[in-house]
Structure 1
Amino acid sequence: MQTAGRWASLVLLISGAFGAAEAIRTLKEGPMIDAEGREYKSAPLRVEDSFNDESTVRVRCTEVSMVVVVKADLYKNGRLVSPEELFLGESEPSDGRCRAAAAGSDEYVIEADLKDCGSKLTISEDSVIYSNVLTFSPSLGCHGITRTSQAAVPVSCHYKRTHVVSSSSSSRAQQQPLTFYSSAKDSAGSSVFSLRLMADDWTSELFSNSFHLGDLLHLEASYTGPGRRRLYVDSCVATLTPDEASVPRYYFIENNGCLTDSKEASSRTLFRPRLRTESLQLQLDVFLFEKHSRNSMFITCQLKATPEIWTSSRINKACNYVHSRWENVDGDDAVCQCCDSSCSTRPSRDLMLCGSVTLGPLMISPRK
């Protein structure tokens, strides 16, 4: 029995790995360039269930999530596994997140944001890869025995990195900044938050990701979902990798909307006056991490959108440090007085949409 169980596990690992590899989908192609060198953004390819019916593990990749579909007859031996025995990641989750749910009479599904459930991110010159494992952990029978061994099937999503091509023959192709969304979505599954690099005049999006010390980054955070809402930036952190928890890291916005980088000597960092309720514009002095040779940088911001009628408060604000005092771009500077201490209170999240967005890589050079 044990030999048969091990053999079945080995077959699953091999067939599952190949099945998962076949299920990888490329969602983004490079931008289209016309004869005059003008760029057109390409739409994501439509995701379809065009998988081999013989595979017991299938993967669908969207712009923001990984969807893993598992046959109940996982080992193809007639023994149906239960959804409680399947989860995404190497460690068993403590709650319902990352676990399988029924999707019909003979299939289960797990849908998770690309950065959740212990997913690992790998970036190469031409692609971005989110990899994980589907874990089968058999439950014990009533006598504390099991007839199936644990298994782990590799699953991954691959995305092509996009590039910008200049119409000038003397210009080198530059890499377009990539934006990874891990945020609230509308009923159609589209992201409702964005973070974009803007040109110096703020009238158009900037597709170059090359900057020098002394430059200003022009960033625009927006709520793009349905209904009228007011956008706030709770926090922003700069890191050398897309992992916002990596070290070194520098929080330049924290404490529910306090732009702490504006307190630095000779800083030009500030929130610009709000032009639309659903967006905030921020200019940020370019910087490098001291004693680190890598010049790539990623910016991750925690965003939220409140009902438009809500007024500024200690947790809903956009505060600049100007002339030795905190000022709120929406008025009512009193809500910024907590920026030098703690602004945390219990938020009313039932009417609030929250999410995060990561922008990068930005390539920073020491001097021109």
Structure 2
Amino acid sequence: MVTHLYLGVILLAGFTTTVANADIEVVCAEDSVRVTWRINQELVPHASRLFLGNCMVSQLKVLPNGEGEAQFNYQFSDCKFKKLMKGKNLIYQNELSYRPQPKSKPAAFVHPIECVSKRPDGWVPPFLNPGSGMSEGYSGLVFHMALLNEQLTGVAESNIIPLGSFMPIWAAVEQKSHQPLLLLMEECVAATTAELQPGSHVYPIISNKGCLLESRRGNSMFLRRYHSSAIILYLQSFKFGLGEEVHIHCRLVAWDPEVLDEDKKACHYVKENESWELLDDPFQSSLCGCCESTCKSRSKREVGWETYGLSHTFVLGPLIMVDWSDWKAANRPGRSVTAADSQEPLVLN
């Protein structure tokens, strides 16, 4: 499937070289893009300063009137395209730019490029990999849990989280030959230890059978699912255990997607509406009403499902929350990296 987008771009005045009324045509294919940028006579000699991401012009055609057409023909795997996932769509983003000065200087012109395509049936993120070291088998099912990068395209490269920023926590269960499953986070707490003891000091994140407390206190939320068997908790970092090693303990439940009740749900608080919302069916958000009190099961099938062990406790960590001043100091040029703040892959227990 190919889509066409034709844009007229008008730049603000003030640049030495004007690119006003530039015409940009973007043709998106399944795994590639073709961008044609019509440029004026003044810019033609400087076509080597035009970029798509970090890619140069593929072909320059000089027109009879002296103007030019700069073409970029590249795969989405080139030019540092960002690959995002939103609902049932895959989104590829980049920037078209004109840089008359060295790369350290700001670009004179920047225009966003975006291609949207439908997510193929059965598609799952590439980090859903049983051999990636973030999986655990339990009662015939394989559970996954990991901290993702900001683009939600893979596992995070660092376990250091600036205070107030978001840490996407992804969990999934492999269905294999099992009937369709809905993955839920029944309970999650943060602790400064990898093992919970009776006297452990914990910070509740999700409780009351699937109520995301951090959405009430802060800006955390559940992201829209790409598949019923996976869930992403978009968790805003918090002050608990600041500067220490923090472990996220979550009880995951694989459940019947046709049966939701007050005991089996995923609810977050929407501040704009001042109400709790059910992730999987906002029209049934009344099931989240108990998040302000106590949620009790109404399902008669729970005993049968729990008997077959469709729940599992996962521990993600260590994560280290730091304030912005510490974050800047830790990343200043020339600073040596110590064992305490190295960016090694997360240890998943």
Give the structure-2-normalised TM-score.
0.48
Give the structure-1-normalised TM-score.
0.46
Q: Which is richer in strand?
A: 2
